[in-house]
Structure 1
């Protein structure tokens, strides 16, 4: 029976006290009914962030559902430029969403601090934002609140990765059907959203407003009140005034005009925008031959065999690999993803292998087919970002003793010291329907003494078999 697994399987709703797992740090942000704090995982020492939503501040059921909606949507998304979610807690007073920690702060803060950005830097940020919108819209998800405050920088480094955050107003949509609920922020909201009849192109309008602000430091639709701003949005009229826009290229203004086209039917799509001349010269990651050879060598040698081993490696890469380890793979992943849709296809992988390994394979198609069969563990037909990280990370680092013990502990739900078939079913069967025999067979893969459960020694032996890893 075919077995698939994705990172969504590992975004658990946890019980117990957050403080038992994390050391709580300083507050780094605050909203109308939530706050964000820096936290550190007590076992892995990895820095993360927690968004705490105060239940008493939620005014109705609709606002409460937005929290579960954000968790549900984020857990399904697997893109290097989308904030990564780890887990979800709740107690009597609050909801807690645990995500990666982005130390570079909001893009909005950078604009305030540095003023308008150079065209080169603005193009780099816009390319990353538009790549996210291609990924979302391909999956029929609309964000509905694209603004600089919801774009953060992964680190304070000059070439930091951009991350899109805050999916509370995001929604899955049906192509061809209009949405009607009004969401958004006055400066960035699309006119058709105000008319409460819109589709995913509303994100493109917001992206156009963001690009305008990145290049000029001011919004295209300004005003002294929300009412005044929204009235200007409704008309859709704006300009490129002097002196702010005198030195900005024609190509940049042309792309803005195409994104701020009033009629959404004529407005440019995210995929079309990525092919615009202004972005063709924007910095794209080129393949680092030495790093790529190492990572793709790991990919080529990736073997799992047992289903539980495959699931464990995916869990470690998703939940226990450090932010640094994951982001080391971003440049290579994006350089292979030539159509910028957030996944690596069979043809893109073949092209990358041809560039790096030239004629080292007797039958490259056979090799690519084998790799795809091993690495594409959610059976989507393409390699997602977490699958890529799982296969490309150094195996010896990935399956360290500490991480194996942490993974075992995560699967041993009752803390009994053994993993049972029922526990595997509870963890991995939420989105995959298999009969009880399937889970018993998975236990049997590592159950050396035949007692129907897996202890830590059996688990470690299974994970290290054929890995040439020694402790």
Structure 2
């Protein structure tokens, strides 16, 4: 794939924390198999047709022991040549991977009960004795798998089972080839691992109808296994295509046009999942399959083994995912759907330049890079990549999850914008409108001023969302428009994640309607706008509108009540108010637009 190099991340390494990443890095800087961080389970069997075993990658370096410090069988690469760094204090800093090992032990049981990894993975950590209690491994699925399906050859293998092709003997799909994910009950050693399987099947059942989502057909079981029957995708993984010889003529990376075609499909299906209240939590090139071997074949999203339902205002704390694609907030154990957006940013970065944005020799090193390092946009080939593409990736790989675009917003970004590309309804709109309706009149005035200074790009996204709600003839929307917008896109997953409950917070609209101007004020996120290069100009223009129409005299005490802050915040808030006239100054206005930082740091101990 050409000589594309992964950037050496200047972070402290801790080789003693975790084993070295298992797979060698090709010369492109893209992993042959991503290092996984799974607290729910190890690598599950895949729906796709994929051969097992590690590939041997050619290396520009000699293979003698004296020439390379790497273990036997691991091909060295320029991208792997990160030198070790030594700590200046007696003990290394705490590893962000320690709690992951504890989570793995809790989910997988004690070492003696844990299955031996099939590709040389190491264990560790103690269990909690959960495996000693008898486990109910009855799932309530059909018992007649053998009568309904004729198994074929194995097409994939993972730690918890394997995937085979099969042919349906009866039913609506009689004669059709399918993929059967076979999960061994013997390897379900904890109640959590059993619940993981139940949830995966429930999510596959509940999510249906999207053209880029793998189809679910059936679930069966017997004494030994659970059988999950799905659509068979025979075109291979996206990762395989990234690494394939077809890309050698492209310098080890996709052209921008080819990358766009891939990313649009990914954003489309992820926005659908997010609207339904499902977060995938393991987005990576291995989990996107092509339906056929044709170069223009559509992709399907698979492997919901780490996915979960999430309520509109819920935060998750499980450490799950794959190391190279994990978001910073996941390592901080407080995250939501934005973690999937980060993973899409990593995939886009790889497609465009052929190397990973965050890399280190160990999982602990990778996590530190994710938390502390910035992606490299200076070296080749980024100099030849369009500014719009760079901006797109930067807005996905923002370490502050509140400033990232949503999947629906990303589809309206200038780099991807296409009049023929439909834009899906965005669940973020519902969350923001709910907050707006609960806000004070002063806060609404501040948001209205901000909406008048929006760029045309941001207005385009809002127009798409407003039109998707199908406003009435008078150009206004009511709670009924919001309700029907959800119902047009509803699946069983939406009810499971209780997304419709968000409508209860919009009861204030029953007494009035909302036109497009007010919708813009209600559906904008100041955090996302702060991520724009034009933020200073936007904020300055918005403050001028605010001075003319909404700014008023406000005391420190009243401002604290507006922000739901205690007396300890008064000293800070005084800097937000002009002494001359008692109104908010420019700093106070921009801080007041979100006002979360002070609340989180000063009110938790109130």
Pair in the same fold by TM > 0.5: yes
The structure 2 residue matched to 1:28, chosen from 137, 147, 155, is 155
SS in 2 for 1:278: coil
In structure 2, the CA distance between the partners of 1:40 and 1:274, relative to structure 1 (3 Å rule), is same
Number of residue pairs aligned between Structure 1 and Structure 2: 292
TM-score for the superposition, normalised by structure 2: 0.45
- Contact residue 276 and residue 490 of structure 2 kept, 8 A: no
- Contact residue 236 and residue 262 of structure 1 kept, 8 A: no
Q: Give the corresponding residue for 1:152.
A: 289
CA distance in 2, matches of 1:100, 1:138: 23
Deviation of 1:91 after TM superposition, in Å, equals 1.0
Query: Is 1:52 aligned with 2:165?
Result: no
TM-score for the superposition, normalised by structure 1: 0.58
- Contact residue 346 and residue 382 of structure 1 kept, 8 A: no
CA distance in 1, matches of 2:327, 2:157: 25
Q: What per-residue deviation string (whole Å, max 9, x for no partner) do you get for residues 174-214 of structure 1?
A: 22222111111100000100010111100100110011111
Query: Is 1:74 aligned with 2:226?
Result: no
In structure 2, the CA distance between the partners of 1:263 and 1:379, relative to structure 1 (3 Å rule), is closer
Please, which moves more after superposition, 255-264 or 276-285?
276-285
Q: Give the corresponding residue for 2:13.
A: none
CA distance in 1, matches of 2:266, 2:416: 12
Q: What per-residue deviation string (whole Å, max 9, x for no partner) do you get for residues 290-346 of structure 1?
A: xxxxxxxxxxxxxxxxxxxxxxxxxxxxxxxxxxxxxxxxxxxxxxxx9699xx979
Q: Give the corresponding residue for 2:372.
A: 235
Higher Rg of the two aligned structures: 2
Q: Give the corresponding residue for 1:100.
A: 231
CA distance in 2, matches of 1:155, 1:282: 27
SS in 1 for 2:402: coil
Q: Give the corresponding residue for 2:396.
A: 259
CA distance in 1, matches of 2:420, 2:329: 33
The correspondence of residues 409-420 of structure 1 with structure 2, limited to 5 A, is none
The structure 2 residue matched to 1:163, chosen from 293, 300, 307, is 300
Deviation of 1:55 after TM superposition, in Å, equals 1.4
Q: CA RMSD in A?
A: 2.9
In structure 2, the CA distance between the partners of 1:166 and 1:339, relative to structure 1 (3 Å rule), is farther
- Contact residue 329 and residue 335 of structure 2 kept, 8 A: yes
- Contact residue 279 and residue 340 of structure 2 kept, 8 A: yes
Deviation of 1:15 after TM superposition, in Å, equals 2.7
- Contact residue 124 and residue 283 of structure 1 kept, 8 A: no
Q: Give the corresponding residue for 2:348.
A: 211
CA distance in 2, matches of 1:213, 1:59: 36
CA distance in 2, matches of 1:236, 1:30: 34
Query: Is 1:85 aligned with 2:216?
Result: yes
Query: Is 1:244 aligned with 2:375?
Result: no
Q: Give the corresponding residue for 1:141.
A: 278
Q: What per-residue deviation string (whole Å, max 9, x for no partner) do you get for residues 335-394 of structure 1?
A: xxx9699xx97969xxxxxxxxxxxxxxxxxxxxxxxxxxxxx997427799xxxxxxxx
Query: Is 1:277 aligned with 2:408?
Result: no
Deviation of 1:170 after TM superposition, in Å, equals 1.0
Deviation of 1:16 after TM superposition, in Å, equals 3.2
CA distance in 1, matches of 2:162, 2:320: 20
Deviation of 1:261 after TM superposition, in Å, equals 0.4
Query: Is 1:181 aligned with 2:328?
Result: no
Deviation of 1:18 after TM superposition, in Å, equals 2.4
Deviation beyond 3 Å, 4+ runs, structure 1: 281-285, 338-341, 344-348, 378-381, 383-386
The correspondence of residues 453-468 of structure 1 with structure 2, limited to 5 A, is none
Q: Give the corresponding residue for 2:488.
A: 382
- Contact residue 186 and residue 224 of structure 2 kept, 8 A: yes
SS in 2 for 1:146: coil
In structure 2, the CA distance between the partners of 1:163 and 1:266, relative to structure 1 (3 Å rule), is same
CA distance in 1, matches of 2:391, 2:410: 11
Deviation of 1:281 after TM superposition, in Å, equals 4.4
CA distance in 1, matches of 2:489, 2:203: 19
Deviation of 1:13 after TM superposition, in Å, equals 6.2
Deviation of 1:280 after TM superposition, in Å, equals 1.0
The structure 1 residue matched to 2:169, chosen from 42, 50, 53, is 42
SS in 2 for 1:277: coil
In structure 2, the CA distance between the partners of 1:38 and 1:103, relative to structure 1 (3 Å rule), is same
In structure 2, the CA distance between the partners of 1:379 and 1:254, relative to structure 1 (3 Å rule), is closer
- Contact residue 468 and residue 485 of structure 2 kept, 8 A: no
Q: Give the corresponding residue for 2:555.
A: none
